[in-house]
Amino acid sequence: MTVFFEQSQIDQWIGEDASYLDLTSHMLGLHTQNTTLRYVVRDPIRVAGTEEVAEIVRSCGGQTQHYTPSGVAAMPGQTILLAQGPAQALLRAWKVGQNLLEFACGIATLTHQVVQAVQTVDASVAVLTTRKHAPGVRKLALKATLSGGAMPHRLGLGETILIFPQHRALMGGWEEVGRAIARHKYALCEKKIVIEAADLDEAYRAAQAGADVVQFDKVPPETLTQIVPALRKAHPNVTILAAGGIHAGNAAAYAATGVNALVTSSLHYAKPADIGVKVSLTGPAESNGPLAANKMEGLE
């Protein structure tokens, strides 16, 4: 999958960790020695972010010889990225790359597990991820969740129309919401209108106001199992989402309620993957051999 990262983002990641100098490497005299760096997986994971780490290595003055592409499974002991270059370049890239990989692969791995659990129950139910995460990580979080098999729910305020209770509180009630939708729906014919609801009564009101999608927030799965059929009977063309409090422990239960998709932010807070780093002097066979830049390898 392609998520666009500008060079300025790569430079920011590097500069955050090593903007002035690497004092340790300077003291030890580690500068131009031919060096090999490997990122090695310690647990089964779903890979994410290797393409960006390859860019970090390049920007620091090294060269990536091969990497496992995002979205591919990797097993313990597998090298998911191998780079060569001057010691000072790879030591600068080392920790920035490791932090990025552990963050992204952790999210991708959990996402894959949740998607698999949901599709085992109902292959037609989608897993969608929200924009609720720590500031500044949206692109990397998106890359990671896509790598795990989920899709984005909403990437920004200008992407979709999603009416929350907070909006309704400023509108004066459901009738005003309905009138606003009626005034503008013709001009927004390519956009679906999503309205959040807390119960069946609000869902009916949302559908009557013109919602194409009703998003239930923090409704337990046992309750959804009862109210989803009723809403579908009254409004068969409405798409139904479940959101709020959905995580790996209950995703399968929500998938069994009859909704079209699960909306979750929990995947962004996954435990980081455990990825080790091995650094060594490059041997003659390695340094004199042909470079296979960006060769991709991995296990499906």
Residue 229 sits in a domain whose CATH number is: 3.20.20.70
The reply to whether 132 and 239 lie within a common domain is: yes
> pLDDT tens digit string along 114-148?
999 999 999 999 999 999 998 889 999 999 999 99
**Distance from C-alpha of 193 to C-alpha of 163, rounded to nearest angstrom:** 8
The reply to whether 74 and 175 lie within a common domain is: no
**Would 258 be classed as within a structural domain?**
yes
| pLDDT at residue 294, as a whole number | 40
| pLDDT at residue 293, as a whole number | 37
The reply to whether 94 and 157 lie within a common domain is: no
- The overall average pLDDT reported for the chain is 94
The reply to whether 68 and 172 lie within a common domain is: no
**Distance from C-alpha of 88 to C-alpha of 30, rounded to nearest angstrom:** 6
Contact yes or no for 224/242 (Cβ under 8 A):
yes
- Window from 142-156, 209-223, 251-265, 286-300 with minimum mean pLDDT: 286-300
296 pLDDT higher than 80: no
Contact yes or no for 45/112 (Cβ under 8 A):
no
Q: Is the dihedral of CA 236, 130, 46, 286 positive or negative?
A: positive
Structural element, H or E, at residue 241: strand 239-243
Domain harbouring 63, CATH code: 3.90.1170.20
The reply to whether 21 and 146 lie within a common domain is: no
Q: Residue 16 sits in which domain range? A: 7-111+271-296
> pLDDT tens digit string along 239-293?
999 999 999 999 999 999 999 999 999 999 999 999 999 999 998 756 544 333 3
Cβ neighbours around 5 below 10 Å, total: 16
**Would 11 be classed as within a structural domain?**
yes
| pLDDT at residue 287, as a whole number | 55
**Would 1 be classed as within a structural domain?**
no
The reply to whether 128 and 263 lie within a common domain is: yes
295 pLDDT higher than 90: no
**Distance from C-alpha of 251 to C-alpha of 66, rounded to nearest angstrom:** 36
The reply to whether 127 and 211 lie within a common domain is: yes
**Would 46 be classed as within a structural domain?**
yes
The candidate with the shortest Cα–Cα distance to 278, out of 120, 90, 116, 52, is 90
Number of domains making up the chain: 2
72 pLDDT higher than 90: yes
**Would 2 be classed as within a structural domain?**
no
| pLDDT at residue 284, as a whole number | 72
The reply to whether 106 and 81 lie within a common domain is: yes
If pLDDT is split at 50, 70 and 90, which confidence band does 2 have?
confident
Cβ neighbours around 15 below 10 Å, total: 12
> pLDDT tens digit string along 21-33?
999 999 999 999 9
The reply to whether 211 and 248 lie within a common domain is: yes
205 pLDDT higher than 70: yes
Q: Which are the contacts of 182, defined by CB distance < 8 A and separation ≥ 6?
A: 210
Q: What mean pLDDT is predicted for residues 160-182? A: 95
Give Rg (Cα) of the chain.
24
219 pLDDT higher than 50: yes
**Would 68 be classed as within a structural domain?**
yes
DSSP H helices, the chain, are 7-17, 23-28, 50-60, 87-121, 138-148, 165-169, 174-184, 200-209, 221-234, 251-255, 284-288
> pLDDT tens digit string along 225-234?
999 999 999 9
The reply to whether 45 and 140 lie within a common domain is: no
The reply to whether 139 and 237 lie within a common domain is: yes
Length of the chain: 300
For 129, the 3-state DSSP assignment is strand
**Would 211 be classed as within a structural domain?**
yes
Contact yes or no for 97/73 (Cβ under 8 A):
no
Contact yes or no for 300/44 (Cβ under 8 A):
no
| pLDDT at residue 19, as a whole number | 86
User: Residue 127 forms beta bridges with which residues?
Assistant: 262
The reply to whether 103 and 224 lie within a common domain is: no
The candidate with the shortest Cα–Cα distance to 197, out of 185, 186, 208, 184, is 208
| pLDDT at residue 283, as a whole number | 80
- Window from 56-60, 148-152, 290-294 with minimum mean pLDDT: 290-294
